[in-house]
Amino acid sequence: MKKIYSILLTAAVALAAFAACTRDYMAGPMARNITVGTTAEQIAADGNSFTADVTADGAWVANAPEWISVEPAYGQGNETVKITVAPNDGAERSGKVGFYSAVGAVGSTDITLEAEPLVELTVTQAAGQGQGDETPTISIADYLALGANTDEYLITGAITRIVNTTYGNFDLTDETGTVYVYGLLNEKLEDKVCFKEKDLAMGDVLTVKVKELTLFRDTWETVDAVYVSHSKSLIALEEDSVTLPKEGQDFSVKAEVKGADVKVDYDADWISYKGAEKDGENVTLNFSAAENAGMGRVAVMSISTTTAKGESSEVEFTVNQEGNIVTVSVADFLAAEESDSAVYELVGTIGGRINTTFGNFDLTDASGTVYVYGLTATELGYGANNDKSFASLGLKDGDLIKIRGYRSSHEGKPQVKSAWFIEKLADGPKAVTVAEFLAAEESETQVYILEGTIGGKIDGTYGNFDLSDETGTVYVYGLTATELGYGAKNDKSYASLGLKEGDKIKMKGYRSSHNGKTQVKSGWFLEKFEPVIPDDGTVTVTDAKLPTAYPAEETVITEGAYDFYILNVANFGNGIQFKKNGSYVANKTAMPSEIKTITLTCHPAKIYYQDNLTVYAGTAEKPEGTALTGTLDESGKVETFAVPAGCTYFRIYNGSGYAVYLESIKVTL
């Protein structure tokens, strides 16, 4: 049920509105029937006054736009009112004078108005002189309806939300709608000065010249509006919102008011009005919120004031109340019953296949993983259409976040439905290649996950070494057994890890540099990759990890848990291509058991020549010595080499004058 409360601030001010009357007004019943002698008037651009006979069977109050004044504005029973229309310098305009039923009378401290007027009088005023040559004035709704626009218009509205006072970013609202103003220029078209220069504030009525209308993240906004004029708000709130506990409590709205009254309009049965206190221009409106047994809820109060001359201002006050929110682990959420009213709060890490339009992803904590079916920037309510605001949050894979939502399911799979974002608790670690790490910006907060092989000059005390993968090499300046934090003193725990040159590890750390050289700083150990015998007993090298050009120097590629040296070997679309006159593939990571056979399979589109490749096996990296003898199968494209006992390393070498093309190299253990 919509509620409207009107508080007369002083009897003296209120009586000024009744200057044309000679009798006193006593408290009386609400008017149930009101009529006005005329319901429509046409007024010239230069303004004028006219009278209207009000017939009522009780107390009433008149309300009008700021350019129309009504005397008297309050009454009881029959009255003749004088309605004055100010001169019009702009386009043709129309406004309504509403006559409301009310309880109370002049001098009372509390008048309750009905939500809708019992009768309205429409005033239409002609446009001012020269309007055809001036920038046209339109409503905000009509401006928004234009979409992408190149023409100039004037719009007028009240400032209802302020985002940035330096550039002048705010919401401008009239009776037809709201537009977001992204940047306000002064008359000299200077930016970053106008908002503070004009001392603009919440509730001020502002006229701006607008042109460009841009769609940004599903919201239309006007860019670089030009200041034309403004009038100060007659009402200023000390705070524009309050957040209340679910148990309910009393609260107050404090305002500085320069008008003759204060009217509060809201639609929330759970809020009760408890009266008002006044000290000069300072007014305190007292309310009470009931206990909330359901989900969190919001009410927006419209608070306005009107002077005896009919000037008015309006601001908004937002009341937020917490609801029944249960904080749970993912495991507890999965075990909960489905509900369209119970709200759950979860904390976890973003992962899985992320839909950045609607905000679909996996949320993981220490207890498990659940699918989030839609995350929005703000609460929309159970089953509401997704507003595609996830992208505006700037979240990414690995971020630790807090969300709220409902327990639901789809095809038997539990999910978080109609979820909304609460806060990001930490940026997530980002898994990158060495090349991507080298290209990243330095940061004291972003954690990176790297996998690579230990090499270079190793400091066994502090854990300094080179880390290499198939994309490049980076210097690790300190590796510790556990996370110590960015810039923390090294605890010399590297030795306890038992790592050595050639070990392949996973680690975390920060992107930093020293003397212009990129390094991993404050790194800590995650795991060591121990080569194991695959289920089928084979390790296979394909062209998947090969570069698309012959490397100028020996480099390393990784297949699963194994690193391999390559020289002059690449993939030009013809499989594993060995360059003529000196190229090879050799395992850098020792096989976990002795090699039994090595099988070379020719690329299906090529011819295999048995004498072009030489295969060696041994107990150390890149073995040489006696070449192995191979056996061709019936196709003439597959050659298998038996390997002597005890060998865990191999090397395949092309010293011929011809390029060789293989489909795969299979090592059987």
List residues bridging with 555 in a β-sheet: 566
In degrees and rounded to multiples of 5, residue 313 shows phi and psi of -140, 155
CB atoms within 10 A of CB 667: 20
Q: How far apart, in whole angstroms, are the C-alpha atoms of residue 125 and residue 44?
A: 6
Dihedral sign, Cα of residue 502, residue 504, residue 509, residue 513: positive
| Cα–Cα nearest to 322, from 353, 343, 308 | 343
* 3-class state of residue 392 by DSSP: helix
Residue 620: left if φ>0, alpha if ψ -120 to 50, beta else—which one? beta
Burial of 574 (0-12, 13-18, 19+ CB in 10 A): middle
Does residue 623 have a cis peptide bond before it, meaning omega lies within 30 degrees of 0? no
Burial of 538 (0-12, 13-18, 19+ CB in 10 A): middle
* Strands (E) located in 515-582: 517-528, 538-541, 555-559, 562-567, 569-570, 576-578
Q: How far apart, in whole angstroms, are the C-alpha atoms of residue 262 and residue 236?
A: 11
Predicted pLDDT of residue 106? 42
* 3-class state of residue 200 by DSSP: coil
* 3-class state of residue 13 by DSSP: helix
Q: How far apart, in whole angstroms, are the C-alpha atoms of residue 607 and residue 663?
A: 12
If residue 437 lies in a helix (H) or strand (E), which one and from where to where? helix 434-439
Predicted pLDDT of residue 353? 87
The length of the chain, given as a count of residues: 669
Pairing outcome for strands 325-327 and 343-355:
parallel
Burial of 641 (0-12, 13-18, 19+ CB in 10 A): buried
Domains of the chain from N-terminus onward: 2-125 (2.60.40.10), 135-231 (2.40.50.140), 235-321 (2.60.40.10), 325-426 (2.40.50.140), 430-528 (2.40.50.140), 538-668 (2.60.120)
Question: What global pTM score does this model have?
Answer: 0.38
Residue with tokens 């103003």: 181
Predicted pLDDT of residue 130? 52
Residue with tokens 């626009």: 149
Residue with tokens 């006072």: 165
Determine contact, residues 325/365, Cβ cutoff 8 Å: no
If residue 289 lies in a helix (H) or strand (E), which one and from where to where? strand 282-289
**pLDDT tens digit string along 246-280?**
899 999 999 988 877 788 888 889 999 988 888 88
Q: What is the mean pLDDT of each run of 10 residues along the chain (669 residues)?
A: 59 30 46 90 91 90 84 87 88 84 52 68 81 74 83 88 89 89 91 90 88 75 90 83 89 88 87 88 92 80 76 82 83 90 87 90 89 94 87 88 92 93 85 93 87 93 94 96 89 94 91 94 91 82 90 85 91 92 94 94 94 95 93 95 96 96 95
| Buried b or exposed e, range 58-76, using 16+ CB within 10 angstroms | bbbbbbbbbbbbbbbbbbb
Determine contact, residues 60/96, Cβ cutoff 8 Å: no
* Chain Cα centroid distance, residue 513: 31
- Tokens encoding 210: 């607008």
Burial of 208 (0-12, 13-18, 19+ CB in 10 A): buried
Q: How far apart, in whole angstroms, are the C-alpha atoms of residue 284 and residue 348?
A: 43
Pairing outcome for strands 448-459 and 111-113:
unpaired
* Chain Cα centroid distance, residue 288: 33
The per-residue DSSP string of 599-657 comes to EEEE-TTS---TTSEEEEEESSSS--SSPPPEEE-TTSSEEEEE--TT--EEEEEE-SS
**pLDDT tens digit string along 291-308?**
987 767 788 898 888 775
Determine contact, residues 414/371, Cβ cutoff 8 Å: yes
* Percent share of the chain, pLDDT over 90: 48
* 3-class state of residue 511 by DSSP: strand
> Percentage helix, strand, coil, to 5, in the chain?
5, 50, 45
